[in-house]
């Protein structure tokens, strides 16, 4: 089996310039994250608040942590000191709460808005309609401590890459509408976080700037 370092090198060698890798380290022990860090990786993704809070203090502080899971409102305060980007903002209410908590500790936090494009109901995120409506109502752009930097999405869990491509294309088109409509003069609205171990090549074709890859780097997770 290839080492974490070899896996990282293999993935990063295939990424076009301008596409950054979030190494999704959920369910993997800090020793494995340290191995990735030693190999040069600085961007990590976690999807559970408790796990992020436990791991972050054990690792070097130049790591940038992306939160990528469903974020419960009562966990926002706890992750705030650790996260660099909250990728999984799935409601205006959550956005408002993040603003409040960021203001409380006087920091700015970058967020992505999660768009629901997959067939599975269980995945969270704004629907396209909800997101465009929130944009039209000025609810995405009125924050002092939150920078909305783009969109995040997961495609359906399927082998049908045509389906996956359509979903990523929908994310890209929704991004462009928002960019034109409400983030027009806003240079920081440029991120499209999409693509995981099995579909990141497709995501890159549709304009991903961040790919979130776990299994292809750290191997299978033992839950
Ligand atoms: C786990 C996870 C990933 C990584 O999935 P892999 O298939 O292991 O690459 C990416 N994004 C999110 C939101 C995740 O929860």
- Ordered by start, the domain boundaries in the chain are 4-218
Average pLDDT over residues 176-188: 90
Q: CB of 214 closer than 6 A to ligand 1?
A: yes
What pLDDT sits at residue 30? Answer: 97
Average pLDDT over residues 113-127: 92
**17-43: b or e for each residue (b if 16 or more CB lie within 10 Å)?**
eebbbbbbbbbbeeebbebbbebebeb
Q: What's the rounded mean pLDDT across residues 120-127?
A: 88
Tell whether ligand 1 has an atom less than 6 A from the beta carbon of residue 68.
yes
Whole-angstrom Cα distance, residue 56 to residue 63? Answer: 8
As a whole number of angstroms, the distance between CA 173 and CA 179 comes to 10
For ligand 1, the distance from its centroid to the CA atom of residue 72, given in whole angstroms, is: 18
Q: How far is the CA of 196 from the centre of ligand 1 (A)?
A: 6
Residue 186 has pLDDT above 90, yes or no: no
Fold of 4-218: TIM Barrel (3.20.20)
Q: Is 196 in the pocket of ligand 1 (CB under 6 A)?
A: yes
The H or E element containing residue 112 is strand 109-116
Atom of ligand 1 nearest to the CA of 24: 4
21 alpha carbon to ligand 1 midpoint, in Å?
12
Confirm or reject: Cβ of 155 under 6 Å from ligand 1: no
pLDDT at 162: 97
For 149, other C-beta atoms within 10 Å of its C-beta total: 22
pLDDT in tens, 128-161: 999 999 999 999 998 999 999 999 999 999 999 9
47 lines ligand 1 (CB under 6 A): yes
């Amino acid at each position: 089996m290839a080492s974490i370092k070899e896996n990282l090198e293999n993935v990063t060698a295939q990424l076009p310039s301008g596409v950054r890798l979030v190494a999704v380290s959920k369910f993997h022990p800090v020793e494995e994250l340290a191995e990735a860090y030693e190999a040069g990786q600085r961007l990590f993704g976690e999807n559970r608040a408790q796990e992020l809070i436990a791991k972050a203090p054990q690792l070097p502080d130049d790591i940038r942590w992306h939160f990528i899971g469903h974020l419960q409102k009562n966990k926002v305060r706890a992750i705030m000191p650790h996260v660099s980007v909250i990728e999984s903002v799935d409601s205006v209410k959550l956005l408002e709460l993040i603003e409040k908590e960021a203001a409380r500790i006087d920091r700015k936090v970058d967020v992505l808005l999660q768009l629901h494009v997959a067939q599975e109901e269980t995945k969270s995120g704004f629907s396209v309609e909800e997101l465009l409506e929130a944009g039209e109502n000025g609810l995405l752009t009125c924050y002092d401590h939150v920078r909305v930097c783009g969109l995040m999405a997961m495609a359906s869990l399927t082998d049908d890459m045509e389906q996956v491509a359509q979903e990523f294309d929908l994310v890209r088109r929704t991004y462009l509408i928002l960019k034109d409509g409400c983030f027009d003069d806003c240079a920081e609205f440029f991120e499209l976080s999409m693509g995981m171990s099995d579909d990141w090549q497709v995501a890159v074709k549709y304009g991903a700037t961040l790919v979130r890859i776990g299994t292809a780097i750290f191997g299978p997770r033992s839950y």
